[in-house]
Amino acid sequence: MIVLSGGTGTPKLLRGMKEVADFEVVVNTAEDIWISGNKICPDIDSVIYSLAEIIDENRWWGIRGDSFRTHEALKKLGVDEFMMIGDLDRATHIMRSELLRKGKSLVETTLEVARAYGVKQRIFPMCNEDVASIVVTREGEMHFQEFWVKRRGTPEVLDVYFRGIEKAKIPEEVRRALEKDEEVLIGPSNPITSILPILSVENMREILREKKVVAISPIVGRNPISGPAGKFMKAKGFEVSPMGVFEIYKDFLSVLIVDESDSALVSEKIVATNTIMKNKEDAIRLSEFVLKVFDSL
């Protein structure tokens, strides 16, 4: 199975999936940003930390029990580091950036970092090229991280686009993995800023039309469980609902899994179960359900 992932909902699921199935992960990189000299790949890091079982489960980013001494020291020196980067988390960013500066690609770098954390699954960035989710607001255009972290997601969103996406290529390793594997899972991630960038790399959508694709809705009822997915879906003209998610994926989707509280939506291509993951057991239960859905296709 190949899993398409962002940095919160899908990593939550992967922590359970690793107990019941083999998979490889293709991760969104449109939220990546250079900060204090290092390249931060927030979604890749969350996937790696989740699979290594060291993720901070309260925030669902960074490393559990991390300290922030370097961040505080930088602040004292007058450096405005707008993301709260933990000391151990920063070690990952330093390792990655050193490899990149030595000329390694993001694919090679990501495989190496994941291996260093003892992760068995192969983790791939969606591309080697730089892509950025740009949020168009009433107050101007800003990088996703500026919108979400610095401005706390408050500006009114008019549109979202992916800067650099025209130059992005599906990495050879991802292409080969997709050729081998029939099953693709889209985890419960933000459909606009986590999954749409991956779908927008070259002919990804066409490739998915040939696959069995199952997706889990990150929207329950009329709201996301967390994060700005609602604002972005609305700005892109989609209903903020599981049906809005279905609409975004409908040209290639085999089945959408919605929460049991939305069971009124069940139809030929929509099935329902409890999709809320409060702990690892919930993630294992949902992963087993996903496997049953694939078996039925």
Binding-site ranges for ligand GDP (CB under 6 A): 6-10, 12, 31, 43, 188-190, 194, 216, 218, 224-227, 229, 275-277
243: its two tokens:
């049906």
196: its two tokens:
């749409």
Residue 11, C-beta contacts closer than 8 angstroms, at least 6 positions apart = 5, 46, 47, 49, 50, 51, 55, 60, 187
Region for 127 from its dihedrals, namely left if φ exceeds 0, alpha if ψ lies in -120 to 50, beta otherwise:
beta
Which is nearer to ligand GDP, 101 or 152 (by Cβ)? 152
Kindly state the smallest distance separating residue 148's Cβ from ligand GDP, in Å: 8
CB burial string 126-139: b at 16+ within 10 A, e below: bbbbbbbbbbbbee
Residue 131, C-beta contacts closer than 8 angstroms, at least 6 positions apart = 29, 30, 32, 162, 163, 164, 165, 168, 197, 201
Which is nearer to ligand GDP, 171 or 224 (by Cβ)? 224
Q: Could you give the 3-state DSSP secondary structure of residue 200? A: coil
Kindly state the smallest distance separating residue 35's Cβ from ligand GDP, in Å: 16
Encoded amino acid at 214, one letter: V
Which is nearer to ligand GDP, 153 or 164 (by Cβ)? 153
Encoded amino acid at 254, one letter: S
**In contact, 25 and 107? CB cutoff 8 Å:** no
56: its two tokens:
């901070």
Which is nearer to ligand GDP, 124 or 179 (by Cβ)? 124
Residues 247, 266: Cα–Cα separation, whole Å: 15
Kindly state the smallest distance separating residue 77's Cβ from ligand GDP, in Å: 29
Q: In this structure, how many other beta carbons lie within 10 angstroms of the beta carbon of residue 269?
A: 11
Kindly state the smallest distance separating residue 190's Cβ from ligand GDP, in Å: 3
Which is nearer to ligand GDP, 171 or 188 (by Cβ)? 188
Kindly state the smallest distance separating residue 78's Cβ from ligand GDP, in Å: 29
Kindly state the smallest distance separating residue 109's Cβ from ligand GDP, in Å: 19
Which is nearer to ligand GDP, 70 or 273 (by Cβ)? 273
61: its two tokens:
């980013």
Which is nearer to ligand GDP, 188 or 244 (by Cβ)? 188
225: its two tokens:
């469980």
Which is nearer to ligand GDP, 90 or 231 (by Cβ)? 231
Kindly state the smallest distance separating residue 210's Cβ from ligand GDP, in Å: 25
Kindly state the smallest distance separating residue 174's Cβ from ligand GDP, in Å: 18
β-strand partners of 39: 34
The dihedral built from the CA positions of residue 217, 218, 220 and 224, taken in this order, carries a sign that is negative
